Structure 1
Amino acid sequence: MPRQPASRPARERLLAAAAELFYEQGIAATGVDAVLARAGVSPSTLYAHFPGKDALVAAYLEDRHQAWVETWDEVLAELTDPVERLLSVFDAVALHRAREGNRRGCAFLAAATELPVGHPGQRWLEADSRLLADRLRELAVAAGIEDADEVAAGLLLLYDGALAREARNATIADLARGNPLDQARSLAASLLAVHAPERH
């Protein structure tokens, strides 16, 4: 890929380069030199903005988390039906994929396999997990579902399973069975048909 345009501020170029490389190649496999070359900046410029690679990784995950929150908020803003709002997590992922690309599956799942305990990026992995669990529960309560905790946990399991399945290298047989997110959404809709109160 080409270097980041020099007209962009150095911090933006560093984060954009890091986002591309960390997502495409993995965090551990990407050295600081590769980020510097992609961003077109010197080591001193990097360290003027970030104390080191760990801080750059954390900033990358923070940006990715914020983009995901904004996308999900955008999808929710268009929906009024309580069940559709619960299913919105799958629609938001689809929209996020369309905008950001999906070359390696979920960036947070990938990062979770690489970051050690105590890494500053763990804060954003935890924020992603909290957002999913808390929002799905809130939406389940708003939908009038009595066993909101159980249903939210079931939706989260379907969501996580779909992303994990998606992250695998798909074979022709996998592709023939369909998109894991579409399948998870369909299963989630079936779950909600049983648990959601009847609408008149």
Structure 2
Amino acid sequence: MDQDTAEATARPSARDRLLDAADELFSRDGIARTSVDQVLHHAHVAPATLYAHFGGKDGLIAAALQRRLDRWEQVWKEAVDAAAAPAEKLLALFDAVSAYRDRYTPGRGCAFLATSTELPDLDHPARAVIEAESTLLLTRLNQLAETVTTEDPAALAGNVLLVYDGAMANLQRGRTPDPLGHGKALARCLIQNAIETEQ
């Protein structure tokens, strides 16, 4: 295989380049401030290719967010599977964010919350992805909390989610040195309190 063939083989597809560009630019600059032309220029793709794959900017937004959700779900599952004790599996949420940010586009905070704020229209195709992410968070946290306490696992899951949302907001503000570490420490206290209450 010659060098030109190897480079062509290694280069991501036009669809992936569009998704990569959208993920990076939407996360960095926001959806409203990012034009289709900017995405096309960043991805080195012709307009017809974008419309053929996604139908337009709205479809691209939804597809980029869905890919992020798929990746996030997998990274979080890996973090849970790597944790030994039930409490650590519940706390793995915070480790998963760090792992995701190391592996993929970091962003300034939670892409799902940011997209929800930028796209209040309930009929936008990205809304279904935002709802799916919320459902994933609630469902998985509740399942994990049930292995930690039988007293009120839903309350524990809700409290951990509240701390998580605060940590993600602090990532966006950029004023706390280690918002994920602080969030994990606070969540650990909540878990310990729930365990002690049950005893």
TM-score after normalising by structure 2: 0.88
The farther-off stretch of 112-121 and 154-163 is: 112-121
Gaps of 5+ in 2: 1-6
Q: Within the alignment, does 1:149 sit opposite 2:154 as a pair?
A: yes
Show the counterpart of 1:126: 131
Paired with 2:106 and 2:158, the residues of 1 have a C-alpha distance of 25
Q: 1:70 matched to which residue of 2?
A: 74
Q: Which amino acid aligns with 2:80?
A: L
Which residue of the partner structure matches residue 112 of structure 2? Answer: 108
Of 51, 58, 65, 1:54 maps to 58
User: Mind listing any 5+ residue stretches in structure 1 that lack a counterpart?
Assistant: none
In structure 1, give the amino acid aligned to 2:149.
Answer: G
2:32 corresponds in structure 1 to 28
Q: Which has the higher helix share?
A: 2
Deviations 1:156-185 (A, max 9, x none): 000001111221142xxx43xxx1111111
Q: TM-score, normalised by structure 1?
A: 0.88
1:9 aligned to 2:9? no
User: Judging changes above 3 Å, is the alpha-carbon distance between structure 1 residues 182 and 145 closer, same or farther for their aligned structure 2 residues?
Assistant: farther
Task: Give aligned pairs, total.
Answer: 189
- Partner Cα distance (2:107, 2:136) in 1: 24
Quick one: structure 1 residues 128 and 37, their matched pair in 2 at CA, closer, same or farther if it must change by over 3 Å? Answer: same
State whether residues 81 and 89 of structure 2, in contact with CA within 8 Å, keep that contact through their aligned partners in structure 1. no
Equivalents in 2 of 1:66, 1:103: separation in Å? 16
Instruction: Give the CA deviation at 1:101.
Output: 4.6
Structure 2 distance, partners of 1:86, 1:196, is: 13
Q: Provide the alpha-carbon RMSD of the alignment.
A: 1.9
Confirm or deny that 1:136 pairs with 2:141: yes
Higher deviation after alignment, 101-110 or 75-84: 101-110
SS in 2 for 1:12: helix
CA distance in 2, matches of 1:143, 1:17: 40
